[in-house]
Amino acid sequence: MRVVVVFFTLALCAATWALDNGLMRTPPMGWLAWERFRCDIDCDNDPKNCISEQLFMDMADRLSEDGWRELGYVYVNIDDCWSSMKRDAQGRLQADPKRFPGGIAKLARYMHDRGLKLGIYGDMGTHTCGGYPGTTLDTITLDAQTFADWEVDMLKFDGCYSNATEQAQGYPSMSKALNATGRPIGYSCSWPAYQGGLPPKVNYTELGQICNLWRNYGDIEDSWGSVLSVADWFFENQDILAPAAGPGRWNDPDMLVIGDFGLSMDQSRSQMAMWAVMAAPLFMSNDLRTISSGARTILQNKMLIGINQDPLGVQGIRILKEKSGIEVFWRPLSAGASALVFFSRRTDMPYRYQSALSKLNYTSGRYQVHDVFSGKTDALKDSTPFVVSVNPSGVVMWHVSAPAADKPRLHTGGKLRGPAYYRHDDNNNDLPPAFL
């Protein structure tokens, strides 16, 4: 019992690591322009798809009218190419007057009137990645106050056209400047993505005190190969990344491309499942005006969103890589529950994967297993063999509940079949490896 208490105390201490703005205690959800609409500024010839206030108002209407907002998708995030090429006479950033005639403050009011939040893009450097005015060390305070005056709710802070020294000073300085405005502004920083991969040159404990979420890896593309490369990088480096995540501080594997052009339905379910297991922010980058019913069903899956938004906030891990091409991922959830994902790398045909919960290190007992995508529910004893049929590049995802008298816990006497394992606090909640 004494050991468990020590672990629980460490968990409570770890909660203070997060950025002290009280925001994003669960992974943020919403819509982000970049992957789908990039830097399209040709509003004369492409008025429906160019980066303009109308595009973001259209997406806000869809989020507020088509059931997205009630599920948690509340951020509408502008990315690069929104600003004028020059600052105003007072040195402040300003929106392009032709494409954003009402300015960013008007757009923020439009979001807030619909129960949504507005995110904006900036860059720690002389220019943004698209060549627009960036934020230098001299303008951090001014730019933070400008965003607050516009009533922006989130800042994505990129890192093009700056060096490591400037970033090391600039990213923490922007965090302090945002907090000093008095307006709650969620802070997404791209610092790790510019620091040369792993082992990280950025201290992840320090990072959790500075940013609410951070980009670790390159931009995602609208292809299965890109989605898989991002997921592989995150799970191959889960020893370092998973302990860094928690309420108010999240690893960000980038946007959901479900509903675009590059993924099949099975691959779309796979991205959604793996992002949920990773406790990743869920920012869609698609066209909500024309999204298919199949993609909408995946993105609006309530049980899957509930797994992603679990308040315990522990990032899941890959626990098995089978020679058959099947991989198994696991995430601990609050109230002793857990999520399991069976993913197939195969490209030939559906594979019937056989296992048992006991083989996945669940302790003895009877569990309620809910299939996240089919909606079926079954009772399953830990020792009872089961078979799941997993489509090529597809997943089967389970939510595993515990009977009240016998909550499921993984064995803690040795390592889980992977590089990390979990113990439990006095409330039977799983604690991540960082607390061991």
Q: Would you name the residues annotated as active-site residues?
A: 158, 219
Q: Cα–Cα distance between 321 and 345 in angstroms, integer?
A: 10
Please count the CA atoms within 13 angstroms of the CA of 255 that sit on its side-chain side: 26
Identify the burial level of 164 via C-beta atoms within 10 angstroms of its C-beta, where 0-12 means exposed, 13-18 middle and 19 or more buried.
middle
Q: Report which residue type is found at 322.
A: E
Whole-number Å distance between alpha carbons of 100 and 180: 27
Please say whether the dihedral angle defined by the alpha carbons of residues 255, 148, 100 and 53, taken in this order, is positive or negative: positive
Evaluated on CA atoms 108, 112, 114, 116, the torsion sign reads positive
What is the number of alpha carbons within 13 Å of residue 278 lying toward its C-beta? Answer: 28
As a whole number of angstroms, the distance between CA 234 and CA 318 comes to 10
d(CA 174, CA 182): 13
Neighbouring-strand partners of residue 76? 31, 118
Read off the amino acid at residue 285. S
Q: What angle do CA 278, 282, 284 make, to 5 degrees?
A: 135
Identity (one letter) of the amino acid at 163? N
| Residue partners of 211: CB distance under 8 A and separation at least 6 | 19, 171, 175, 187, 188, 189, 191, 249
Contact 257, 286 (CB under 8 A): yes
Closest by CA to 333, choosing from 359, 299, 370, 301, is 370
Rg (CA), the chain: 22
The answer to whether the CB of 154 falls within 8 A of the CB of 75 is: yes
